[in-house]
Structure 1
Amino acid sequence: MPSNQPNVSRETSANGGTDGFADTPIAAAAARASEILTPGGTPPLPRPASTRIITVANQKGGVGKTTTAVNLAAALAIHGLRVLVVDLDPQGNASTALGIDHRRPDISSVYELLLGEATLDGAAQQSPAHESLWCVPATLDLAGAEIELVSLVARENRLKNALNAEALARHGFDYVFIDCPPSLGLLTVNAMVAAKEVLIPIQCEYYALEGVGQLLRNIELVQAHLNPDLHVSTVLLTMYDGRTKLADQVAEEVRRHFGEKVLKTIVPRSVKVSEAPGFGMTIIDYDPGSRGAMSYVDAAREFAIAGAATDGAAR
């Protein structure tokens, strides 16, 4: 693959494609799955000096926010890093993808966390996908949370207070991903106040940048009034279809606008990625040999290494 082409996935074969069935698609998928599920053959990912809290936001629906949050989290977890996903979307899709039964009546959720009725210790649930992967699930109660938050003191800081350094340190979390709803309401503001970084997934389709301008303006407002440390650290291109010229044009436009913040890895459009949540799984567990899984593993590695370089430069 030429160096100027997007890093969509790594097509490898089990035996270099030299004998028997080694060069078949099934063998290639098996080799990729083995590489993902046994990452000992690759250099370990750097552990951040302190917990990185990342808000995954884009008020435009269907751009891959939840998919990006859960799959990046899973990809980092299989490398031994401890990761928490905070499901701040009332639909609870991130909870479902991580195998958390968020419909149980007795479960503590992000709703109770925001209202101060539960702590992180009580609300965080371990995902069956991996021992290092945790989730604070969302329930339908969260749909009314924005109305209830309006009357509370320091309403914009509720999530930040719940995700305090002491609570995160007790669990040893290296990363916290906050999956936002497709809106710019009080829940998303809470996410931005709690985080230092914003990760914006942008689909490689028409109108890709529509609405991103408003998101950036809201980030600037939060910076000015509530969280001066907040910044856009990462942009991930999703739903890339290499058969269309439009996808390349959109990718080029996004890179021109955001520069080095855009990861080189691009996530392809994939049926497998869409299917995985229906089975309560991330793409890493559902089909580890797929191009979608490989892309998210590559994106997670790039994301972790870029963060370590930034952290080192800051120090």
Structure 2
Amino acid sequence: MRTFEVRAKLASELLAVPLDANEIRALANKENVPRSGYHLTYSAADIGQMRSKLFPEFNERLKLPTVPPVVSLRMSKGGVGKSTTASNLALCVAAQGYRALLIDADPQGDASDMLGIDVEQEGIVTMLDLLTNNAPIESAIQRPYAEMALSVIPADNFLSSFDLTVSAYTRREYLFATFIKNNSEFLAKNFDIIIVDSPPSSSVLNFNVLVASDVVLSVVKLDGMSTKALRVLAQELNDLDKAFSMKKPVLFLANGYHPSYRSSEENLDNLKNMYGDQLLKTVIPAYAGFLSQSRVTKGETNALYEREPTSPAGRKLLELSREILALLGIKGLGVEQ
């Protein structure tokens, strides 16, 4: 397991409350804890403990008997930052003391990879095992960080066989929703939010994810090409409504914003005009650090927020997670909800 610990200044940012180092230390009950170095550090578990003291409503989520909201990230075009957003969103939510489950439903497994999960390890249980082999959900849960309530159900290339495997199944579009329903007690007891990284292709697997979703988050790269791909999502949602009378709320996230590029500004304006309030206020900037998340370039994987939480992109990812939590009505943020 990795460790994710922060100093007092970042702990204050995660809590969104202006506190100095001494106040943070007292809030975490660490007045008598000897320092291993010049600074004390705080885990996500510490952040959660502090949040429960600052915002008593934070503890209300522990009493909810219902399945937490399912947010799926969807875009029919690859390379828009969908998996990057999914992994960092889950990490930012958990870093604030919440309990997040990331389900990797993309056969490329990038979200799993970015959180340091080796999907090639022997005996690993993936999303495919849960949906087609009735493997118990507990057997698939991976916990990449110590003292952080971030759980991951990984995916690998074998998930690409899902459509063929279930071709003869009845109600095959409901397999994911049935999985959620059958594990509702476990999910309600252990998580505040479920984030799903869906496959980029239009497929039975993708349709499964849409059926099970409470909210669809479409990541749109501000390059013009991504906005064209939104037509595919619109058609998928239309098909879903026609076939199953399901209307899914859709949110849009602008990604890759570069203030010096005129096209970037124009594409952002177009999204605002097209989607209005459906477009999230948070805009993720273009940032070179995103390129260092892959095993090829770094030698090891880790999400950007783990490496650079105080970078401009890191702070925007945290802002995104808070906006999503607020829109879902999840308690304890300390902001107007």
Q: TM-score, normalised by structure 1?
A: 0.81
2:324 to 269, 278, 303: 303
**SS of corresponding position for 1:125:** coil
1:42 to 7, 17, 26: 17
Which amino acid is the alignment partner of residue 187 of structure 2? Answer: L
User: 1:24-173 residue pairs with structure 2 within 5 A?
Assistant: 34-35=9-10, 39-42=14-17, 50=66, 51-128=68-145, 131-164=148-181, 165-170=184-189, 172-173=190-191
User: 8 Å contact 2:176–2:209 — kept in the other structure?
Assistant: yes
| 2:241 counterpart of 1:218 | no
Deviation at 1:132, TM superposition (A): 0.9
Aligned identity (percent) is 26
Q: What CA distance in whole angstroms lies between the structure 2 residues aligned with 1:205 and 1:129?
A: 38
Q: What CA distance in whole angstroms lies between the structure 2 residues aligned with 1:129 and 1:89?
A: 25
The corresponding residue for 1:238 is 255
The corresponding residue for 1:5 is none
Deviation at 1:306, TM superposition (A): 2.2
User: 8 Å contact 1:82–1:133 — kept in the other structure?
Assistant: yes
The corresponding residue for 2:264 is 247
User: 8 Å contact 1:208–1:250 — kept in the other structure?
Assistant: no
Q: What CA distance in whole angstroms lies between the structure 1 residues aligned with 2:11 and 2:224?
A: 32
User: 8 Å contact 1:238–1:269 — kept in the other structure?
Assistant: yes
Deviation at 1:128, TM superposition (A): 2.2
**SS of corresponding position for 1:188:** helix
**SS of corresponding position for 2:177:** helix
Deviation at 1:42, TM superposition (A): 2.8
**SS of corresponding position for 1:163:** helix
After TM superposition, which residue ranges in structure 1, 4 or more long, deviate above 3 angstroms? 31-34, 43-50
Q: What CA distance in whole angstroms lies between the structure 2 residues aligned with 1:144 and 1:293?
A: 35
The corresponding residue for 2:197 is 179
Q: What CA distance in whole angstroms lies between the structure 2 residues aligned with 1:37 and 1:138?
A: 34
User: 1:198-213 residue pairs with structure 2 within 5 A?
Assistant: 198-213=216-231
Q: What CA distance in whole angstroms lies between the structure 2 residues aligned with 1:53 and 1:219?
A: 16
Which amino acid is the alignment partner of residue 85 of structure 2? Answer: T
Deviation at 1:130, TM superposition (A): 5.7
Deviation at 1:37, TM superposition (A): 7.9
**SS of corresponding position for 1:61:** coil
Spell out, residue by residue over 1:32-71, the C-alpha distance to the aligned partner (whole angstroms, 9 max, x if none).
9942686235395986665110110001111111011111
CA shift in 2, pair 1:208/1:139, >3 Å? closer
User: 8 Å contact 1:99–1:129 — kept in the other structure?
Assistant: no
The corresponding residue for 2:302 is 281
Which protein has greater RCO, CA pairs closer than 8 Å, 6+ apart?
1
Structure 2, unpaired ranges of 5+: 1-5, 19-50, 331-337
**SS of corresponding position for 1:238:** strand
| Root mean square deviation, CA, Å | 2.4
The corresponding residue for 1:13 is none
- Number of equivalent positions: 277
2:207 to 171, 189, 205: 189
Q: What CA distance in whole angstroms lies between the structure 2 residues aligned with 1:65 and 1:246?
A: 21
**SS of corresponding position for 1:299:** helix
CA shift in 2, pair 1:259/1:101, >3 Å? same
1:272 to 286, 289, 302: 289
Q: What CA distance in whole angstroms lies between the structure 2 residues aligned with 1:183 and 1:112?
A: 20
Q: What CA distance in whole angstroms lies between the structure 1 residues aligned with 2:244 and 2:150?
A: 29
**SS of corresponding position for 1:237:** strand
